[in-house]
Amino acid sequence: MFLENNLSSSRLGGCIEVVTGSMFSGKTEELIRRLRRAEIAKLNVGIYKPKIDNRYSDNDVVSHDSKIVSAIPVRSAKEIIDLAKDNKVVGIDEAQFFEDDLIDVCNYLANQGKRVIVAALDMDFSGKPFGPLPGLMSIAEYVTKVHAICMRCGHLANYSHRLSDTQKLVMLGEKDIYEPLCRSCFSKAIDDKNKDLELFNNQKT
Ligand code: ZN
């Protein structure tokens, strides 16, 4: 578990933490846990998320177990700079949907002495690094990888396998669209999909 007693090491007090993993790995729960503790410490806490994600509601960070904390939806990462002026702790949820300028924004906020906590998917449905995450993980003082449980074998899962065939990068959804898989089950699922596709193409010709 991430322990905050490591945090006083910086003279400025600012730092960047990334909480990342697949879908159903508890990223948002971990973000909320850290933000709640900052609130208990009477620190000014702000929570932001990209406007793209309105699965449940426009103003809340909603974790899959339905603990709710208010979040401000923003269209771009730069908007956070003004909004977070009075925050000592800045939470950013679903950060994979921001552009690469989120990296500069997080650096700017941390250099202002703020504690920045980012929760995001590390990989997209095809297993490729997602959006600004590689850069964010590079500049962060602390990176926490959380894991889901593989739906097929019960080992730790770090891939979000999409059950439908669409190739769209952004597809929001729940358990009926994605399943968390471990490395070997994910690579087998991709192989099987490619075999099916080959069979389908051969039948057409
Ligand atoms: Zn597995």
Is pTM, for the whole model, over 0.95? no
What stretches in the chain show pLDDT beneath 50?
66-67
Question: How far is ligand 1, taken at its centre, from the CA of residue 183, in Å?
Answer: 7
Structure tokens that stand for 156 in this block: 């730790």
Which residue carries 């396998």 as its tokens? 161
Structure tokens that stand for 170 in this block: 């952004």
Question: How far is ligand 1, taken at its centre, from the CA of residue 155, in Å?
Answer: 6
Angle (CA) 173 54 82, round 5° = 135
Question: How far is ligand 1, taken at its centre, from the CA of residue 187, in Å?
Answer: 10
Using only the alpha carbons of the chain, give its radius of gyration: 18
Which pLDDT value is given to residue 177?
86
Which pLDDT value is given to residue 56?
52
Q: What are the pLDDT digits (tens) for 134-177?
A: 999 999 999 999 999 999 999 999 999 998 766 666 655 555 68
152 class by beta-carbon count within 10 Å (0-12 exposed, 13-18 middle, 19+ buried): middle
Which residue carries 């990888």 as its tokens? 145
Domains and CATH numbers, the chain: 4-147 (3.40.50.300)
Catalytic residue list: 94
